[in-house]
Amino acid sequence: MRILGVVAVSLFVALFGRLWYLQALQSEQLQEVATLNIQETIRTQAPRGRVLDVNGNVLVDNRLSTIVTVNPEDLRVALVDQNIRSSDDQAEFRREMFTELARELSGSGQLTKLADLERAFNDPSFRQFEDIPVARDVDEELLIFIGERPNDFPGVKVEQDLVREYPYGARAAHILGYVGSITGAELEAKADRWTLVDPEDPENRLPDPFGKPYRSNDEIGKEGIERFFEDDLRGIPGTQVIEVDNFGNLVEVISSEAPQRGSDIVLTIDIDLQVELEEELKRALDRAREAVPPDPEDPPFTAPAGAAVIMDPRNGSVLAMASYPTFDPGDFIDGLSFDQKAALDDPTAHQPLLNRAVAEIYPAASTFKPFTAIAAEVYNVFGWDFVEEWDVPTSDPGYWDLKSCGLESDDRETALALGCRKRNAGDATMEGVDLEHSIAFSSDTYYYKLGEAFWIAPNDEIPDDGIQQIASQFGLGASTGIQLPGEKSGLMPTAQLKQQRHEDNPDAFPFGDWYSGDNANIAIGQGDVAITPLQLTNAYAALANGGTVFSPNIVSEIRPPERVQLDENGAIVRDEDDKPIMIEFEPIEFAPRVVREIDIPADIEAAILDGLLGVTMLEKTLIDRPGGTAYNAFNEPEEGGVDFDLINWPVAGKTGTAQVGNGTDRADNAMFAGFGPSGTTNWGTAVSEPEYVMVTILEESGFGSKSAAPFVARMFDLIATDEVPKALRQEEIDEFYGVTNIGEIGDPEQGPAEAPTEGADG
């Protein structure tokens, strides 16, 4: 019997030991878990910050939208009260209710399918006690319809919610971007953003009082400013920490914080100029499409897409940036419909979502020539061996025979077939070609010669990649660092790079050797030189301002909202009435960001400027010499140009006609890069500091002089004459055309929902 006593004593010793372990040794950790067990955090969405233009016009705002929500718990309780208890019967009731709701929504003008409602209702990210939005942006009439029939629609509520609003409609869409529901990957990427490392225990993380937690179904910036400044634009969600029992019943509200709206973003964009640039870009492409190629055998000018950028060369601020085709960010508010998505994805639509100004790469073509010229002066190519000094007029026979190509040999035909003769566009011949006129006439031969000289000159005298070095200093072939997502870097090809690419991927790049011809192509901005329109704008800004390369800004400041104050323990400071004390924050300003100063030799800089002015001002007077390539665009209204006051607002610019593909199946890209007002005494114009740089690239639109230059001329004319019209808001346009809201048809007294102007954070 004693054995039973021994067993009993040892078992009780074990129980005591375990009790001591749990309640004395482990107690602290387990108490923490117990506290978390009973708390639940309910979040309320905070309004996003707004986006404003440089003059304070609101480009992206929040507006109240009427939404329909269903609360599953309320619905269930109501059905049980109506004695509908089995889950099959409840599902049946729900189906009928949703069918009725879908019919009502469709009747009010918003086509809705039963499946849409059911899919929304079954979203697993919502809890049983939350209102689940099943339809957004619905007719306000629905409020009355549902409100009058609580028995038919138990648990269904018509509520107001904040959504994005775009006062200027689809304007500046590529800059502003759009918002959408957060994806699983985005949610994961943002997971650590609302916690801070515990200073006392680096393994541990503490909640960040200014953190911006996300949960599934939250909206997040997907593109443009909305994406790039997501962390600023997003508000701090309101939180309510409540104690619940195991059935989710509210036991006690532990703490409650109101949502705080996000920071406003102020752009450098001028919406008036932006709207005009978008309109003129579209018009330029339309005109290009109407034009007929000089040779009927050539591919037609399809002009499907294009981009244009206007920048202030004095500080690198982007004033306007357009990309065509474009899209309407408003389409994303309720999520894209199937048709809308199909339309955007259609290959014949030419990627409307793509911001071609920063995210598409193009050959630089003739707009590259000034940088080749600067390189030639910096590395003393002018006057070397077969190259004349820059101020010596030369004769251009219309082609340049590459010296290292064996044209002097017996097999001349083969050499020609191999491309040893580099030709001018249209084999044009010209006389009196010095550096200045090479730019005004756009002589390719002049630059082929320079390009080959770089390659065949001894490397200790002239570096092989001198052109690329100078172009790279101007920021060509590299990201500019603008505050927009998805910027492409482009490419500045060198012999080493070509070899490297060949070795890495011989299938895609079958040739690894660099020839004279490659250098000749580089010199005229062809070959593999690939730049974005923004890079070219930025490089011309540096030409215009005397060599200062900026990292361009499209945002001038971030204006944080006033915020609660925290004491050293991280607790919110409150006044006697228990209201948080709000403090204001200074705006964060984006000063001009100078990347580097380039020392451009003064004489060559003057010659280039005279040449660029010649592009717009040099009239054709002699038989053997052409005029400036953009003379017609800036002087001859009957030739599709404008009657421009070049004397008082001189424009320095360069046309470009870029071969794309193999040059036979697609028409050339038309380009123009220019700045003004910028004159020289040589041309007898006013001399002033350039305030505007503009670059445009029109895809498959033919000659830069015919389609791109007139577009820039029209824009500069509006600017020079101070006639940029005030941009109209969408509601003003709708008013003008007599477009009315569908909601107003039933009730003419009721106007459209008031758009909250000062952040509807209530």
- For other proteins, the binding residues (CB under 8 A) are 1-5, 7-8, 11-12, 14-16, 18-20, 22-24, 26-27, 29-31, 33-35, 37-38, 243-247, 249, 251
In degrees, rounded to 5, the angle at the alpha carbon of residue 66 between the alpha carbons of residues 265 and 215 is 60
For the bound state, the minimum distance from the C-beta of residue 36 to other proteins, rounded and expressed in Å, comes to 10
Q: Which is nearer to other proteins, 19 or 80 (CB)?
A: 19
- Residue 42 CB, nearest distance to other proteins (Å)? 17
Q: Residue type at 659?
A: Q
Least distance CB 40 / other proteins (angstroms): 11
The least CB distance from residue 145 to other proteins, in Å, is: 35
Cβ–Cβ under 8 Å, residues 407 and 398: no
Q: Which is nearer to other proteins, 16 or 210 (CB)?
A: 16
| Minimum distance of other proteins from residue 240's CB (angstroms) | 17
Q: Among residues 40 and 100, whose Cβ is nearest to other proteins? A: 40
Burial of 502 (0-12, 13-18, 19+ CB in 10 A): middle
Closest CB to other proteins among 30 and 581? Answer: 30
Whether the bond between 325 and the residue before it is cis, its omega within 30 degrees of 0, is yes
Query: Rounded to whole angstroms, how far apart are CA atoms 390 and 373?
Result: 9
The β-bridge partners of 318 are 311
Question: Nearer to other proteins by C-beta: 252 or 747?
Answer: 252
Residue 40 or 731 with smaller CB distance to other proteins: 40
- Distance of closest approach, residue 242 Cβ to other proteins, in angstroms: 12
Token pair in block for residue 473: 């200093």
Query: With respect to other proteins, which residue has the nearer C-beta, 12 or 386?
Result: 12
Q: Which is nearer to other proteins, 21 or 210 (CB)?
A: 21
Taking a C-beta distance cutoff of 8 angstroms, is the pair 284, 243 a contact? no
Per-residue CA distances from 492 to 314, 316, 371 (Å): 26, 22, 13
Q: How far is the CB of 255 from other proteins (least distance, A)?
A: 16
Q: Give whole-number Cα distances, 714 to 289, 622, 719, in Å.
A: 18, 28, 9
CA distance 292 to 656: 18
How many angstroms separate the CA atoms of 66 and 110, rounded? 12
CB of 253 to other proteins, least distance (A): 12
Residue 332 CB, nearest approach to other proteins (Å) = 40
Closer residue to other proteins (CB): 26 or 496: 26
How many C-beta atoms surround the C-beta of residue 569 within 10 A? 5
Cis before 493? omega within 30: no
Which CB, 14 or 588, lies closer to other proteins?
14
Burial class (CB in 10 A: 0-12, 13-18, 19+), 592: middle
H-helix or E-strand containing 142?
A: helix 141-147
Please tell me what DSSP assigns to residue 362: B
- How far apart CA 446 and CA 391 sit, in angstroms, is 12
In angstroms, the CA 580 to CA 564 distance is 6
Q: Which of 372, 266, 377 is nearest to 654 (CA)?
A: 372
Q: Which is nearer to other proteins, 22 or 111 (CB)?
A: 22
| Angle between helix 466-473 and 369-378 (nearest 10) | 120
- Name residues whose C-beta falls within 8 Å of residue 173's C-beta, 6 or more positions apart in sequence: 224, 326, 327, 328, 329
CB of 213 to other proteins, least distance (A): 24
Q: How many angstroms separate the CA atoms of 401 and 755, rounded?
A: 67
The encoded tokens of residue 465 equal: 């990649």
Distance CA 222, CA 294 (A): 43
Instruction: Supply the minimum distance, in Å, between the C-beta of residue 9 and other proteins.
Output: 8
Shortest spacing between CB 77 and other proteins, in angstroms: 17
Phi/psi zone of residue 362: left (φ > 0), alpha (ψ -120 to 50 degrees), beta? beta
Least separation, in Å, of the C-beta of 41 and other proteins? 16
Nearer to other proteins, 16 or 511 (CB): 16
The four Cα atoms 711, 715, 720, 721 give a dihedral, to 10 degrees, of 100
Kindly report each contact of residues 544-548 with a partner whose C-beta sits within 8 Å and lies 24 or more positions away, as own/partner.
544/313, 544/652, 544/675, 544/678, 544/690, 544/693, 545/313, 545/314, 545/689, 545/690, 546/600, 546/605, 547/597, 547/598, 547/599, 547/600, 548/594, 548/597, 548/598
Q: Which is nearer to other proteins, 17 or 335 (CB)?
A: 17
Report d(CA 172, CA 51) in Å as an integer: 11
Alpha carbon distance 260, 46 (integer Å): 6
Nearer to other proteins, 33 or 185 (CB): 33
The residue among 246 and 621 lying less far from other proteins, judged by its C-beta, is: 246
Closest to other proteins by CB, 12 vs 210, is: 12
Work out how close the CB of 73 gets to other proteins at its nearest, in angstroms, rounded to a whole number. Answer: 17
Q: How far is the CB of 177 from other proteins (least distance, A)?
A: 43
DSSP character for 699?
T
Six token digits for residue 731:
């509601």
Helix axes 516-523, 369-378, angle to 10 degrees: 120
Q: Give the shortest CB-128-to-other proteins separation in angstroms.
A: 16
In sequence order, the β-bridge partners of residue 383 are none
330 in Cβ contact with 309 (< 8 Å): no
Least distance (Å) from other proteins to the CB of residue 34?
4
Judged by beta carbon, residue 32 or residue 639, the one nearer other proteins is 32
Least Å distance between CB 23 and other proteins?
Answer: 4
* Closer residue to other proteins, CB minimum distance, 247 or 736: 247
